Structure 1
Amino acid sequence: MDLQSWDSIKQTSKNNEDITVSNGKVIINNRSIFHRVVVNENIPQCDRQGNILLLHAGCYSSQTWLDHGTMHVMANRGFRTAAIDMPGYGETGGVKMDTGDPIDFMKSLIQVLGIPYPIIVSPSRSGDLTIPLIIECPELVRGYVPVSPHSTDKYSAERYRGNQTNALITYGENDTEAGRVAVANLKNLPNHTAEEFLGAGHHPYMDNPGQWHQLLLNFINSLPQ
Structure 2
Amino acid sequence: MLLLYVGLPGPPEQTSWLLGDPNVTVLVGLTPGNSPIFYREVLPLHRTHRVEVVLLHGKAFNSHTWEQLGTLQLLSRRGYRAVALDLPGFGNSAPSKEVSTEAGRAELLKRILRDLEVQNAVLVSPSLSGHYALPFLMQSHHQLRGFVPIAPTSTQNYNQEQFWAVKTPTLILYGELDHKLAQESLQQLRHLPNHSVVKIHNAGHACYLHKPQDFHLVLLDFLDHLS
TM-score of the superposed pair, with normalisation by structure 2: 0.85
Where 1:87 maps in the other structure, the secondary structure is coil
Deviation at 1:180, TM superposition (A): 1.4
* Identity level (%): 31
Deviation at 1:148, TM superposition (A): 0.6
Aligned residue identity for 1:202: H
Verify the 8 A CA contact 2:50 2:120 in the aligned structure 1.
no
Verify the 8 A CA contact 1:87 1:97 in the aligned structure 2.
no
Q: Which residue of 1 aligns with 2:21?
A: 16
The count of corresponding residues between Structure 1 and Structure 2 is 208
Q: Which residue of 2 aligns with 1:142?
A: 145
| CA deviation map 1:59-79 (0-9, x unaligned) | 000000011100011011111
| CA deviation map 1:97-143 (0-9, x unaligned) | 94651121111010111211211110011111111111221110000
Q: Which residue of 2 aligns with 1:128?
A: 131
Correspondent of 1:213 among 207, 211, 216: 216
Deviation at 1:94, TM superposition (A): 2.1
Aligned residue identity for 1:167: T
Correspondent of 1:177 among 163, 168, 180: 180
Correspondent of 1:222 among 209, 213, 225: 225
Distance 1:50 1:106 in 2: 17
Distance 1:107 1:72 in 2: 25
List aligned pairs for 1:51-200, cutoff 5 A.
51-94=52-95, 98=99, 101-200=104-203
Residues 1:25 and 2:30 aligned together: yes
Distance 1:54 1:105 in 2: 14
Distance 1:214 1:75 in 2: 14
Distance 2:96 2:136 in 1: 21
Which sections of structure 2, spanning at least 5 residues, go unmatched? Answer: 1-17
Distance 1:99 1:68 in 2: 30
Where 1:188 maps in the other structure, the secondary structure is coil
Where 2:162 maps in the other structure, the secondary structure is helix
Residues 1:35 and 2:35 aligned together: no
Which sections of structure 1, spanning at least 5 residues, go unmatched? Answer: 1-12
Distance 1:164 1:48 in 2: 21
Distance 2:195 2:201 in 1: 19
Where 2:27 maps in the other structure, the secondary structure is strand
| RMSD (Å) for aligned C-alpha atoms | 2.0
Change (3 A) 1:153 1:74: same
| CA deviation map 1:176-223 (0-9, x unaligned) | 523311111101111111011222111111111111110101111112
| CA deviation map 1:39-85 (0-9, x unaligned) | 12x326xx443211000001000000011100011011111110111
Verify the 8 A CA contact 1:49 1:77 in the aligned structure 2.
no
Distance 1:33 1:110 in 2: 11
Aligned residue identity for 2:29: G
Deviation at 1:14, TM superposition (A): 5.1
Change (3 A) 1:146 1:189: same
Distance 2:97 2:38 in 1: 14
Aligned residue identity for 1:211: D
